[in-house]
Amino acid sequence: MNDPVTLSSGITYDRESIEKWIEAGNSTCPLTNQVLTSLGPIPNHVTRRKIQDWCVENRSHGIERIPTPRVPISSVDASEIIRNIDIAHKKQDGERCRALVAKLKSLAKESERNKRCIANNGAGRALSEAFAAFSVTTTSSFDDNIAVLEETLSALITMFPLDGEAKGYLGSAPPMHCLIWFLSSGDLSRQRNSVLALKELVSSMEDQRKTPNLFFDIEIEAAIEALFKLIKTPICPTSTKASLTIIHHMITSSSTSSSTRQKQVTKLVNLGIVPLLLETLVDSERATCEKALGVLDGIVDSERGREMACLNALTMPVLVKKILRVSNTATEFSVSILHKLCKEEQREDGGVLVEALQVGAFQKLLLLLQLGCVEKTKERVSELLKMLNLHRSKVECVDPMDNFRDLKRPF
């Protein structure tokens, strides 16, 4: 136990464990099965002090004294702070609002229990509304509100995922301008928080394609260069994945016109997105790899994107390596990219088809076909094998066992 508490049944439990039990819908004591007259656990200070004394006595064995736990925030206290935040932002009292938001964020960081309590009392909505309110300013007053906007955004990202009302406030015009401005600034904390907020909005748009936020698509175009820089010079893995998610939405979203998507892809290609993605793919963990492949799959839909991919020496080795090595999603994206590149190959010498053969694409695709995959991928694999088969004579095939022909083997 770290934080012993006693129920109305008289039995003492660790706070985190018993709160999970109660939050799961149980209203009885786990040990006695007695119906609880109150669901609010009471701190057991005597037991907690005994635990701390025991830790001190045994510190020679490497045991550290547990700190005295703070009393968790109640729903009443959380609601009161949130109500005061609403009052402060409506009065445009930046200093008061900033202090309240900082207090709320500090309480949320103390424990997961506090965070859930605060979120369940509508903190996401209140913080999004406050951020929107302080974003609606003139140029002269914007600088005065930067501090409260930063603090509010920092607290807001701890409340993810947001509900529809909160996303509605955050996705309106003034907050979007502010998020893009933060993203383009040189401050790392601002960049990280803003890219995570934009990713949260992108997630909601992908879930609700019937009601696309067209203003978001217009605004996000201004952030292309900033997103590119976040991938090129990473702040942290989370911001890198968020940047890739946003870019993937930009270039594949059905809510964006074809001409707009084409402009965005062209700008990204001119910035150098293709070599950057390939370098990222060389040594990246699963989630980053899947997102980078997803972006590359969207990029090679354009002629310019395919041209740059075909010219890069890493393209074929990296794509073939990712097949059956990372995940089903990565394999499907890799096959899709290979298919798009190979079917447009018109050079007499075979070009990328020969390159793919040289790095073992034919064998990898045959294996994939044998192991099984989704129908769309299977069709692409079949077409790729037919295209590759036409150029197999141009590639010297060596039996890997030839090198061991003279060895004596017991089989």
Per-residue model confidence as pLDDT tens digits over 41-86: 888 999 999 999 999 999 888 888 888 888 888 889 999 999 999 9
CA 398 – CA 411 distance, rounded (Å): 22
- What integer pLDDT is reported at residue 219 of this predicted model? 61
- What integer pLDDT is reported at residue 404 of this predicted model? 36
- What integer pLDDT is reported at residue 401 of this predicted model? 39
The DSSP code for 399 is -
- What integer pLDDT is reported at residue 140 of this predicted model? 53
Strands 4-6 and 12-14: antiparallel
CA 13 – CA 32 distance, rounded (Å): 13
pTM (2 d.p.): 0.78
- What integer pLDDT is reported at residue 318 of this predicted model? 93
Write the pLDDT tens digit of every residue in 239-292: 999 999 999 988 887 777 777 788 888 889 999 999 999 999 998 899 999 999
Q: Where are the beta strands (DSSP E) in 45-116?
A: none
Which structure tokens are listed for 294?
Answer: 């997803």
Confidence of residue 205 (pLDDT cuts 50, 70, 90): low
Confidence of residue 211 (pLDDT cuts 50, 70, 90): very low
In whole angstroms, how far apart are CA 231 and each of 176, 204, 298?
21, 22, 17
